[in-house]
Structure 1
Amino acid sequence: MALPTTIDLAHIKSLSWTTTTSYTVSNVISYNLALGCSGFSLPLVYESHPNFHALPTFGAVHGIAIMGLVHQAMADFLPNFQSHNHVHGEHFLALKNAYPIPQGTDQVRLTTTARVVDVVDRKSGVLVCVDIVTVEEATGKVICENEWGGFVMKTPTTGANEQQTQRGARTALPAVPSDRAPDRVLVHQTSPEQAALYRAASNDLNPLHIDPETARAAGFPAPILTGTCTLGIGVRHVIEAFADGDPGRFESVKCRLSKPVFAALGERVRTEMWKENQRRVIFKMIVGEPGSGKSKEKVVMSGVVDLKADGARL
């Protein structure tokens, strides 16, 4: 097969990928711990607790699984594709039904399908927008929908859309308020152990997230925390601050991942949150030097979480 020299958007949109995954209660507990939940929070770590549940961003794990297939195929439909030039740039996640909780040693089996819905000219490369739908095999219910925005640098943009196709909450990136202080601020201390645990819990075994030599070869001073882990920390903070810790009120999240977090260096992540109305929270995430409290980098920009109304939950 000849390598592409331009972007054939109609052809790219005709492609699809499907994978089957499964999880147990152990996977749910490991995921919750990997996002920094307390071992004393029994609804998150004890499978026999009546309110045992997965944190809302558990659905991003299924996006990771299918994006591995999409990533492998990019050389077939993007000109000059180089694996190390592909980074996670934007993310949308909507939870449609509560994550099924396995009983005992049982597994929940899921089928996830991905399709490219847009390729956008970003001058120095392209933004590839991938729609991801995850269905529970036993019931046919849609559990969650992701849209993964992958920025591919140094790719010729001929044939890409000049402007991103607007698709409501999937593409909307609201401005963070600049005229007032955040309504709530929560801080999370990362660690090398968290980075290693999240790799295992999410099955994202990219060595960039654990191996110093791989990180240096990619131009980073240390391994970087998986982007979906950073996103999960931010959403956990929003749920704690504005939904009384009730994950059933989570509806969707959209954000732009702008800079990596270096858990290997013990960076502290600060989530600044603004309550826009009863159901919407805008947030950004900033990393400060360990122990200094000083701002260093905005790692998540234009984040927004939509909540279900009080009394309405999955």
Structure 2
Amino acid sequence: MAIVYDELIALDIPAREVSFTDRETMLYALSVGMGQDPMDLDELPFVFEKNLTALPSLSTVICWDDSWTPRTGINYVMVVHGEQRITLHKPMPPSGRVKSKIRIKDVFDKGAGKGAIMLVENTISDATSGDTLVTLLSTTFARGDGGFGGPLRKPEELPPKPHVIPDRAADAGVTLKTQPNQALFYRLCGDRNPLHAEPAFAAAAGFPRPILHGLCSYGIAVRAVVKAACNHDPSKIADINARFTAPVFPGETIHTELWRDDNIVSFRARVAERDVVVLDHGRVELRG
């Protein structure tokens, strides 16, 4: 089954309502490595119900739903996360009932043997008030699905170019160690793709062993931003965007470099053990 552009754009993905509690919020924070030091009073509000605070990237898991993906015609064994953007219209609440509406915003054919890029938008709103809380925009790189065709593109219709990291030494850096079983914890937040747990499945996808979820690496980088640029106050974040450039293996150390320019924070994350950049072109907009 191959991609059919018009059918994919017209794909109707039903809206869902989801409730989440302090349990999901704390589990997510623990799954991106918070709370390893029980005496760290800065991280305690993210993992303890007293004065509970949610990381902005919690929004990527509370409405997780990949049940519609078989309908796309994409070979999901060959899929990797390309980019993730989070636009926070309001600070992420630590509990509530929300409505999630997913749509395939666009698909770009890179050519036969070169893969395809699919843009997926998820609008999350408060189920009671109807107020939009978060807009998620994810880029999926379907490595095995190029050559399907699709419309001709004008330059303004192509995906935007990535954010440019400043050409100077970083203003700050945060080093965070992942655990060997990090992916096994993180998958309990919603994404149970066997790529992150089953060695045989990882081998079929071309990896020597199960890899960490890209969004887990992303959440760890968000932790670094919240720590270094926001003094552990995530309500200061209005928008986050970054590109996934390489996988992380559970147990590796992620070092995130940050550059501050007024209300814009640029960031890049690399695995210390292999000196490989795993998240690049990171851009955070802080509220004024």
Is this a same-fold pair by TM over 0.5?
A: yes
Write the mapping of 1:33-72 to structure 2, written as runs, cut at 5 A.
33-38=30-35, 39=38, 40=40, 41-49=43-51, 52-62=52-62, 65-66=64-65, 68-72=66-70
Identify the structure with the greater helix proportion. 1
The Cα of 1:87 is off from its aligned counterpart by 1.3
What amino acid sits opposite 1:206 in the alignment? Answer: N
Tell me if 1:15 matches 2:11: yes
1:100 to 1:286, Cα distance in 2 relative to 1, 3 A: closer
Comparing 204-213 with 141-150, which one deviates more in the overlay? 204-213
Query: In structure 2, what is the equivalent of residue 78 of structure 1?
Result: none
The 5-angstrom pairing of residues 143-292 of structure 1 reads 143-155=133-145, 156-160=147-151, 162=153, 171=160, 173-177=162-166, 179-200=167-188, 202-263=189-250, 266-275=251-260, 277-289=261-273
Give yes or no for contact 2:20–2:62 (8 Å, CA) kept in 1: no
Verify the 8 A CA contact 1:35 1:229 in the aligned structure 2: yes
Q: Aligned equivalents of 1:217 and 1:48: distance in 2?
A: 44
CA deviations 1:24-77 (Å, max 9, x no partner) are 11111111111122244331122122xx211110011146x23x03422211xx
Structure 2: distance between partners of 1:214 and 1:244:
40
The one-letter code sitting in structure 2 at the alignment partner of 1:25 is D
Tell me how many residue pairs correspond in the alignment. Answer: 279
CA RMSD of superposed structures (Å): 2.1
Offset of residue 262 of structure 1: 0.3
Q: Which amino acid aligns with 2:97?
A: R
1:129 and 2:113 are equivalent in the alignment: no
- Overall identity of the aligned pairs, in %: 30
Unaligned runs of 5+ residues in structure 2 are none
Contact 1:97 1:141 (C-alpha < 8 Å) held by counterparts: no
Distance 2:138 2:49 in 1: 30
**1:140: how far off?**
1.3
Q: Give the whole-Å Cα distance in 2 for the aligned partners of 1:120 and 1:180.
A: 33
CA contact (8 A) 1:21 1:62 kept: yes
Which residue does the alignment assign to 1:306? 285
Counterpart contact for 1:96–1:143, Cα < 8 Å = yes
The answer as to whether partners of 1:95 and 1:252 remain within 8 angstroms in 2 is: yes
1:141 aligns with 2:117: no
Listed as ranges, the gaps of 5+ residues in structure 1 are 76-80, 103-107, 310-314
Contact 1:120–1:163 under 8 Å retained in 2: no
Q: Deviations over 1:70-113 (max 9, x none)?
A: 422211xxxxx3221221111111111233344xxxxx322211
The TM-score normalised by the length of structure 1 is 0.82
Contact 1:7 1:160 (8 Å CA) reproduced = no
